[in-house]
Amino acid sequence: MLSVSISAGMYFENTGCQIMANKNNAPGQRGRRPLSIFAVLALCCFFYLLGAWQRSGSGKGDNLALKVNNLMSDCNIMPELSFESHHNDVEIIEPAEPKAKKIKACDVKYTDYTPCQEQDRAMTFPRENMIYRERHCPPEDEKLRCLIPAPNGYTTPFPWPKSRDYAYYANVPYKSLTVEKAVQNWVQFQGNVFKFPGGGTMFPQGADAYIDELASVIPIKDGSIRTALDTGCGVASWGAYMLKRNVLTMSFAPKDNHEAQVQFALERGVPAVIGVLGTIHLPYPARAFDMAQCSRCLIPWTSNG
């Protein structure tokens, strides 16, 4: 009971102190409030009077604003606006369109022209090692800069495999081989086409029978031979019939007095190239062919390396 009374006494004592303090502070606060209200009213009156003075036109800012308003109120005055481009001094480069270069056609006398295989030029070179049959290109100022024209009446060749045995005469208009090689069955002339019975110098009865004879000693059928080289190919009858046995053959022969022989091969779709084994290597790497064929072999294989 005693502890409670003491605590209660202390509480009332503290509360009394706080009340006394608040009472002592109240007069100061009452003095400040009228002063604050007076200051606010004074500022309001000042700004009101300032605004009234500005509105009356006595201020410099209003004079300037009035002039601007007067200018804008005149609808007859238009601003000077220019909508022209201001970069006329800069050259505008249009994109250049690609133009196909036009090359004129050669004279008709060049229908059978083969670059670097001119017969007249070839005869001026030595005959040792077949040098005169190799490629001999003209000097730069003598090279042709024109398109070789097709023979008159050129027709789209026959599709394979018919093209192996037939070619249009108009595409390769040369009959000399039909006479010179008649007994060897290289080529026959029938109507407006050439027929190629598959004969050759050493196999006048046809390349098929000759290849079968080779197959008796050479494994042609088992796939071990996939590529072959036919030297002195004539009209490439051997290479044409080797295609039937899945052997790809490159045939080549020089451009000699039988100048159309390689052309006959190409016109029929048989791989062939003008070439000769002389002093210049053929453009093929070592081991490019599994087999080399030379039916009537006049080639000195072991000479000159």
**Would residue 305 count as lying in a domain?**
no
Tens-place pLDDT, residues 219-256: 998 999 999 999 888 899 999 999 999 999 999 988 87
- List the domain range (segments joined by +) for residue 116: 108-142
In the prediction, which pLDDT does 60 show? 54
Q: How many domains does the chain have?
A: 1
**Would residue 203 count as lying in a domain?**
no
**Would residue 8 count as lying in a domain?**
no
Tell me the C-alpha distance between 11 and 4, whole Å: 11
Task: Report the percent of the chain where pLDDT is more than 70.
Answer: 74
In the prediction, which pLDDT does 17 show? 40
In the prediction, which pLDDT does 296 show? 73
Tokens of residue 276, six digits: 């000769």
217-245 in b/e burial notation, b at 16+ Cβ within 10 A?
A: eeebeeeebeebbbbbbbbbbbbbbbbeb
**Would residue 60 count as lying in a domain?**
no
In the prediction, which pLDDT does 9 show? 41
**Would residue 117 count as lying in a domain?**
yes
Give the H/E segment covering residue 188. strand 188-190
Tens-place pLDDT, residues 36-66: 888 888 888 887 787 776 666 555 555 666 6
**Would residue 172 count as lying in a domain?**
no
Q: Indicate the SS3 state at residue 115.
A: coil
Tell me the C-alpha distance between 104 and 50, whole Å: 95
Q: Indicate the SS3 state at residue 209.
A: helix
Tell me the C-alpha distance between 136 and 132, whole Å: 8
CB distance 24 to 32 below 8 Å: no
Helix axes 2-55, 60-73, angle to 10 degrees: 60
**Would residue 129 count as lying in a domain?**
yes
**Would residue 134 count as lying in a domain?**
yes
Tens-place pLDDT, residues 83-118: 766 666 666 677 777 778 888 999 998 888 888 988
Q: Indicate the SS3 state at residue 249.
A: strand
